[in-house]
Amino acid sequence: MSETGDLMQKMVSLCKRRGFVFQSSEIYGGLKSAYDYGPLGAELKRNLMNEWWRDMVQGRENVVGLDASIIMHPRVWEASGHLSGFSDPLVDCKVCKERFRADKAPLAESGSALVLAFADKGQAKVAEELIEKQFGQKLTRDGKELRGALAGDRGYVCPVCASPFLSEERQFNLMFRSSIGPVDPLGAVAAALEEGRLAGLSGRELRAAIEDLTKPSAVYLRPETAQAMFVQFANVQQSMAMKVPFGIAQMGKSFRNEITVEHFIFRSCEFEQMEMEFFCEPGTDDEWMEYWRHERMGFWKRYANNPDKFRFRAHEKSELAHYAKGCYDIEYLYPWGWGELEGIANRTDYDLGKHAKHSGQKLEYFDPFTQKKFVPYVIEPAAGATRGLLVYLLDAYHEEVVDGETRVCLRLHPRLAPIKAAVLPLVKKDGMTDVARKIVDDLLRRGIAAKYDEQQTIGKRYRRHDEIGTPFCITVDGETSATSTVTIRDRDTMAQRRVSVDGAVDEIEALLRK
């Protein structure tokens, strides 16, 4: 197995063993693609998100924050295109495995004779055997074609091989649907069934009828935090008297029914985002794009041990979203290859325009200097917080051999580390424990995450804290009582230096500010 697979396995194992990330609902067999952040993971995620908030919001006069509801008016998703764009009925061909949209498939009248065509004889033979085995139909093979199949009553066949052997139509919608209000919408469906109002409808009609019955209470969990910032654009701009250019930033959970979930917490259905919408005057958008993509790259590299594992990737014209004028991904070299960490997109005036149209409200900006009205363009740096957490864990993971033993060290940036300082009595006697406990109290009172640890031997304690990324260890030893000094050990170099007991907390504080 490659080194890369090993790294992921080691990371998953470490995350569980040390309380960073657990499988969701593990005692019930686990829930697909859902993860819980344990005590250390919760701290790490919070630290990362705090750094982002500080960098993007608190450190800037022209950016303000928002914390919007996860459930929004369903019409928000109509306007944004999320609702219509993902409700197409998809069908899988059971013969050639193609997935296609039912409404765009070639039509074939029920009962009509079909000719199934394949790329070559070999594939035709495989298909022939598959059909006989799975569907009990013996077709006639003629070169790369199969004859003898008849079209079913659904009115279409596979667009690739023309087979009528298809899965049920399935609605693929990336959004999580729920219902608001205490009355279960299934009640209306049950009543309609009982009264026979749905009798005699075809599959598709039935679906539409049920949709109508449940629609009044249907709500969706947001698939991105971005829309709230567009929807609240006017409120934020007016209440804070913001002048364009300015940004609205938001962190929080988003939900997507991903078709494929993969790579541990990299792509999961429930995830956390850190997004900002930066509203600027049309014509200045290209400059702001340049500004923000470099700001954002700077952010990620600031806390990284391997800055060369981050890169930009400009989207090709063909892969740009329909609303976007340009897009740069910030990618990280994950163990399985380069992958997205953050996308910085020029969303133009698409979103504000859409919401203005759908809501009937004016979402414009009046520039008091130029006396001009315009719909701002938007530059959107949208980062995955949970991806960021994974990136920094992978980036920090380091192994080295010390005296024949492997030392695992998480070289997390001190400001990201869940525990900033461990305070350790060298042994449990001569009053060392009391001194150590007092130092822990002092650290905690200053708001520095600290941990007292007297378990086992000093070496094991150092290694344990190396593995969870604690950057500093303060050790109370035999000299402490005589000289009123303790040692501070650096996680990455294992080097120690003596400082006064009274100055130890200041010392740690200074190290964290660096």
Partner RNA sequence: GCGGGAAUAACUCAGCGGUAGAGUGCAACCUUGCCAAGGUUGAAGUCGCGAGUUCAAAUCUCGUUUCCCGCUCCA
Residue 209 vs 458, nearer CB to RNA: 458
What are the phi and psi torsion angles at 73 (to 5°)?
-60, 135
Contact status: 317 vs RNA (CB under 7 A): no
**Which two three-digit tokens encode residue 282?**
């049309």
Q: Which is nearer to RNA, 213 or 276 (CB)?
A: 276
* Contacts (CB under 7 A) with RNA, residues 4-43: 5, 8-9, 12-13, 16-17, 23, 27, 29-34
Between 143 and 478, CB nearer to RNA? 478
First to last CA, the chain: 39
Q: Tell me the closest approach of the beta carbon of residue 422 to RNA, in angstroms.
A: 12
| DSSP code of residue 349 | T
Task: Take residue 427 and report the two structure tokens written for it.
Answer: 């042994």
Q: Which stretch binds RNA (CB under 7 A): 39-47, 198-206, 475-483, 505-513?
A: 475-483
238 binds RNA (CB under 7 A): no
Comparison of 212 and 400: residue with beta carbon closer to RNA: 400
Q: What is the DSSP string of 199-248?
A: TT--HHHHHHHHHHHHGGGEEEE-S-SHHHHHHTHHHHHHHTT--SSEEE
Tell me the window of 59-67, 84-92, 107-115, 281-289 that interacts with RNA (CB under 7 A).
84-92
> Judged by CB, which is closer to RNA: 130, or 189?
130
- Closest listed residue to residue 21, CA positions, set 3, 44, 4: 44
Q: Is 398 in the site for RNA (CB under 7 A)?
A: no
**Residue 16 or 125 with smaller CB distance to RNA:** 16
CB atoms within 10 A of CB 252: 19
Question: Counting contacts by CB under 7 A, is residue 291 touching RNA?
Answer: no
Rounded least distance, CB 198 to RNA, Å: 26
As a whole number of angstroms, the distance between CA 278 and CA 244 comes to 9
126 sits near RNA (criterion: CB under 7 A): no
CB of 5 to RNA, least distance (A): 5
Which element (helix H / strand E) includes 510? helix 504-513
| Gyration radius (Cα) of the chain, Å | 29
CB of 275 to RNA, least distance (A): 10
Which residues 197-226 are close enough to bind RNA by CB under 7 A? 223-224
- Choose the stretch contacting RNA; rule: CB under 7 A; options: 119-127, 176-184, 243-251, 489-497: 489-497
Nearer to RNA, 442 or 453 (CB): 453
Exposure letters 331-341 (e unless 16+ CB within 10 A, then b): bbbbbeeebbb
Residues 422-461 that bind RNA (CB under 7 A): 426-429, 455-460
Q: Residue 67: name the closest of 249, 224, 219, 241 by CA.
A: 249
Q: Which of these, 153, 23, 166, 150, lies nearest to 93 by C-alpha position? A: 166
Provide the minimum distance between the beta carbon of 343 and RNA in the complex, in angstroms, as a whole number. 8
**Axis crossing angle, helix 385-396 with helix 3-17, rounded to the nearest 10:** 110
Q: Are 348 and 285 in contact (CB under 8 A)?
A: yes
Of the candidate spans 148-156, 230-238, 258-266, 305-313, the one that interacts with RNA by CB under 7 A turns out to be 258-266
Identify the residue among 403, 447, 482, 514 touching RNA (CB under 7 A).
403
Binding residue count for RNA, defined by CB under 7 A: 65
d(CA 388, CA 405): 30
The residue type at 388: G
Binding site for RNA (CB under 7 A): 5, 8-9, 12-13, 16-17, 23, 27, 29-34, 81-82, 85-86, 92, 97, 99, 174, 223-224, 256, 259-264, 321-323, 335-336, 402-403, 405-408, 426-429, 455-460, 462-464, 467, 475, 477-478, 487, 489, 494-496
